[in-house]
Amino acid sequence: EVQLVESGGGLVQPGGSLRLSCSASGFTFSFYAMHWVRQVPGKGLEHVSTISSNGGNTYYADSVKGRFTISRDNLKNTLYLHMSSLRAEDTAVYYCVKGSIAGAGGYFDYWGQGTLVTVSS
Amino acid sequence: ETVMTQSPATLSVSPGERATLSCRASQSVSSNLAWYQQKPGQTPRLLIYGASTRATGIPAKFSGSGSGTEFTLTISSLQSEDFAVYYCQQYYSWPEAFGQGTKVEIK
């Protein structure tokens, strides 16, 4: 059974930093691209970032480019999102999502439960 | 960047009736289109990929069609567990954008 478990969310002040982690199990982590998708409570889904299976290619939404960094450790089966210079508009539930293929361009077949990030003073 | 537009924003349907949801892409995405269901307080779930292929465990009451820029999700004989928000997503090009969602509510 595929499991994706996020951690690291919480309350952070504007301008602060936070690192999200996603522990994956139930599939061969190193074979698949991974994604972060966020959702402001009560609103729609925003695709934030993608990393290819070997970590060699990364992609960022314009809204987070230069502030967020996606990475992965294929030995630890863990995905990360390092967020810096956080703004109030980054407040959202962040989902760790498994892609259907090794690179970008696949659909999202499994989702974690999400971790809430709140940016507020 | 491809923009996905869903209509209507809200669809009121009586139990047992059929619901038809639309999704339009600002440029062709071929058949690289997925549909997701999100129930209140739950995580999104993949329903359809490749515009018309049901994901594992998804019942036949959910069907998808279309290609290029126009897509449709049809849910036959709605039951209480089907009332939710449905999102389309293109995965033809990055960013793999979502539509804004269609809320299917009980009439």
What would you measure as the largest C-alpha separation in chain B, in angstroms? 38
Average pLDDT, chain A: 97
What is the arithmetic mean of pLDDT over A116-120?
98
Residue A96 has pLDDT above 90, yes or no: yes
Q: How far apart are CA A32 and CA A96, in angstroms?
A: 13
Minimal C-alpha gap between A49 and chain B (Å):
8
Residue B68 has pLDDT above 90, yes or no: yes
**Taking CB atoms and an 8 Å cutoff, what residues of chain A touch B34?**
107-108
**Taking CB atoms and an 8 Å cutoff, what residues of chain A touch B99?**
44
Q: How far apart are CA A56 and CA A59, in angstroms?
A: 10
Answer yes or no: are the C-beta atoms of B99 and B5 closer than 8 Å.
Answer: yes
State the pLDDT at residue A52: 97
Q: How far apart are CA A106 and CA A100, in angstroms?
A: 5
Q: How far apart are CA A77 and CA A31, in angstroms?
A: 11
Q: pLDDT confidence of A57, banded at 50, 70, 90?
A: very high
Residue A105 has pLDDT above 90, yes or no: no
State the pLDDT at residue A17: 98
Q: How far apart are CA B56 and CA B73, in angstroms?
A: 17
**Taking CB atoms and an 8 Å cutoff, what residues of chain A touch B94?**
50, 59, 104-105
State the pLDDT at residue B60: 97
Average pLDDT, chain B: 96
Cβ pair B89:A107 closer than 8 A:
yes
State the pLDDT at residue B101: 98
Q: How far is CA B90 from CA A30, A79, B1, B39, in A?
A: 24, 23, 11, 21
**Taking CB atoms and an 8 Å cutoff, what residues of chain A touch B96?**
35, 47, 50, 104-105, 108
Q: How far apart are CA A69 and CA A50, in angstroms?
A: 10
Cβ pair B98:A44 closer than 8 A:
yes
Answer yes or no: are the C-beta atoms of A101 and A33 closer than 8 Å.
Answer: yes
Percent of chain A topping pLDDT 70: 100
Answer yes or no: are the C-beta atoms of A108 and A35 closer than 8 Å.
Answer: yes
Q: How far apart are CA A103 and CA A105, in angstroms?
A: 6
Contact of A50 with chain B, judged by CB distance below 8 Å, is answered with yes
